[in-house]
Amino acid sequence: MEEEEIAKTAKPKAKKDVAPGRVIDTYAAQCDKCHKWRVIDSQDEYEEVRSKMLEDPFNCEKKQGRSCEEAADIDYDSSRTWVIDKPGIPKTPKGFKRSLVLRKDYSKMDTYYITPTGKKLRSRNEIAAFVDANPEFKNAAPLGDFNFTVPKVMEDTIPSDLKLASPIVTSDKRISKQ
Ligand SMILES: [Zn+2]
């Protein structure tokens, strides 16, 4: 049952972008009624949908002027790598940015937050220390709104030529130094 809830929100990702950035380039949510995938235009809007997913499931009508009769915006297939998010993750506090990066071996994603001052925070402890040192964020950015839950990388969408895609270093220099 939990799995079903999870499948309602996903962040698909184009294969081409994997090597340089390994970051999400497309956001999508699945309609609760017809199960088609709708592309969500921005991370902000996506986070809004995700945060309310449990109480207020997404459907086609929530995307302006759309209906379940229309073709899906995007299909779940292996033409891109999909990562499925957990519903109910709070919206990122204003001024902060939540980033997800896929590991090179596609094993999992890592979450971090970027503060309004450009600092990268990788754990709850780092967030707590930052808010302690910068009490002006205490009200706008409660600790409970930071969440390090990562989406699940969908194995059936991981490219099969993964090994070929990894860089191969065969530099003579490097060898002679060792
Ligand atoms: Zn629909």
Cα of 90 to ligand 1 centre, how many Å?
A: 24
Cα of 57 to ligand 1 centre, how many Å?
A: 11
Long-range contacts of range 139-143, CB-CB < 8 Å, 24 or more positions apart? 140/93, 140/94, 140/95, 141/93, 141/94, 141/95, 141/96, 142/93
Percent pLDDT > 90 in the chain is 65
**Cα angle, residue 36 at apex, residues 67 and 82 outer, rounded to 5°:** 140
Reduced 3-state DSSP string for 41-81: CCHHHHHHHHHHCCCCCCCHHHCCCCCCCCCCCECCCCCEE
**Cα angle, residue 8 at apex, residues 52 and 94 outer, rounded to 5°:** 35
Cα of 67 to ligand 1 centre, how many Å?
A: 6
Q: What is the pLDDT of residues 3-58, one digit of tens each?
A: 444 555 566 654 444 444 488 989 999 999 999 999 999 999 999 999 999 999 99
Of residues 107 and 21, more confidence is placed in 107
Domain layout of the chain by residue ranges? 2-158
Average pLDDT over residues 128-146: 92
CATH superfamily of 2-158: Methyl-cpg-binding Protein 2; Chain A (3.30.890.10)
Q: What is the pLDDT of residues 68-96, one digit of tens each?
A: 999 999 999 988 899 999 999 999 999 99
Cα of 10 to ligand 1 centre, how many Å?
A: 15
- pLDDT of residue 178 exceeding 60: no
pLDDT, residue 174, reads 47
